[in-house]
Homo-oligomer: A and B are copies of this chain.
Amino acid sequence: MPASSNYRDALADPAIDAVLIASPTPLHAEMVEAAAASGKHIFCEKPLSLDPARADQAIAAVRKAQVKLQVGFHRRFDPDFRFIKDRIDDGSLGEVRFFRATCRDMTPPSLEYLRACGGIFADVTLHDFDVARWLVGEVEEVYAAGAALSDSQIAEVAGDVDNAIVALRFASGALGLIDNSRDSGYGYEASLEVMGSRSTLRIGPAAQRVTGVESLAAGARAWDIGTDFVARFADGYVGAVAAFVAAVASDSEPSPTGRDAVAAFALALAARESMETHRAVRLAAVTGTTVEA
């Protein structure tokens, strides 16, 4: 799929120091390489490519051009997720023993979208994999299962599932669980729990930023839950770009890196393989380059 030539004009503009790539996934690698060749710093939405070898090529191009590359894992910049990261880093949570992430969309996207997105593990779980690696470290073994429960066409036409579960064994010995749904019905949820040897922290289901107003109706108290990820992660999206700009301005290394994108994607591939084989998949067997000490 050739990309529009328009963006190449922008890359030729010497007044531009850095670019944000938010195009469809199939264009990511090509655009990253073009931007790197033009000496532009790059913020690119995940994933770099649905083909790991292609992602490696793009990262190599970035390295060769000595430009900066940050990948759009916005949850790392959400105040609540960062609060937990800080408690891990300052030792107050202790050793992480258990990690649990839930990510659910309110309603499924179109079949057209589903056919092109690379599957639920690459499209949805990828964020949970990145958060898992960011908070707990590398994953050693993945087990996954899934089913198309809301609409049989999701399996038949798009070859995908709309509900998925993942079990993780981290290199540290910690355990993890992830559950995803394309069709929660009640709203968009991105909740999280990290249980440590000293304390346990939990982010709830409600996008508390949407509103803190409680409604007392007949027989019920209610809090609003947000209905999409844009509202839930408004702070995270802004924070991710702000961090990229700050890294460019101060000439420091941005994070998460292209390598983080590759590592999360390897987990998505492993999850798919596990779902198909009904076996746990060891990560070293998928790609040696993504497992760190």
A residues adjacent to B (C-beta < 8 A): 79-80, 83-84, 95, 97-98, 100, 106, 141, 143, 145-147, 149-150, 163-167, 169, 173-177, 179, 181, 184-187, 189, 195, 197-206, 208-209, 211-227, 278-280
Measured in the bound complex, the distance between the Cα atoms of B174 and A119 in whole Å is 19
Which of A206, A208, A220, A225 lies at the interface centre, i.e. has the most chain B CB atoms within 10 A of its CB? A220
**B221–A212 CB distance below 8 A:** no
Please tell me which one of the listed residues B95, B203, B204, B227 contacts residue A219 in the complex, with CB atoms under 8 A apart. B227
Distance from A221 Cβ to chain B, minimum over Cβ atoms (Å): 5
Closest 6 A/B residue pairs (Cβ): A208-B212, A186-B216, A220-B222, A200-B216, A222-B222, A278-B280
Copies of this chain in the oligomer: 4
Measured in the bound complex, the distance between the Cα atoms of B176 and A203 in whole Å is 21
**A173–B201 CB distance below 8 A:** no
**A197–B225 CB distance below 8 A:** no
Please tell me which one of the listed residues B97, B145, B220 contacts residue A175 in the complex, with CB atoms under 8 A apart. B145
Q: Which residue of B lies closest to A198 (CB)?
A: B185
**A145–B143 CB distance below 8 A:** yes
Chain B residues within 8 Å of A186, by CB: 199-200, 216-220
Please tell me which one of the listed residues B98, B149, B163, B176 contacts residue A181 in the complex, with CB atoms under 8 A apart. B98
Q: Which residue of B lies closest to A227 (CB)?
A: B219
**B174–A165 CB distance below 8 A:** no
Some 28 contacts from A to B, beta carbons below 8 A apart, are: A95-B149, A97-B149, A97-B163, A98-B165, A106-B218, A141-B145, A145-B175, A145-B280, A147-B173, A147-B175, A149-B173, A165-B175, A175-B179, A184-B200, A185-B198, A185-B200, A187-B218, A199-B216, A201-B216, A203-B214, A204-B212, A205-B216, A219-B225, A219-B226, A219-B227, A220-B225, A222-B222, A279-B280
**B79–A211 CB distance below 8 A:** yes
**B208–A215 CB distance below 8 A:** no
Chain B residues within 8 Å of A213, by CB: 80, 83-84, 201-203
**A167–B187 CB distance below 8 A:** no
Measured in the bound complex, the distance between the Cα atoms of B100 and A177 in whole Å is 10
Chain B residues within 8 Å of A205, by CB: 202, 216, 221
Chain B residues within 8 Å of A214, by CB: 201-204
Distance from A58 Cβ to chain B, minimum over Cβ atoms (Å): 33
Distance from A218 Cβ to chain B, minimum over Cβ atoms (Å): 5
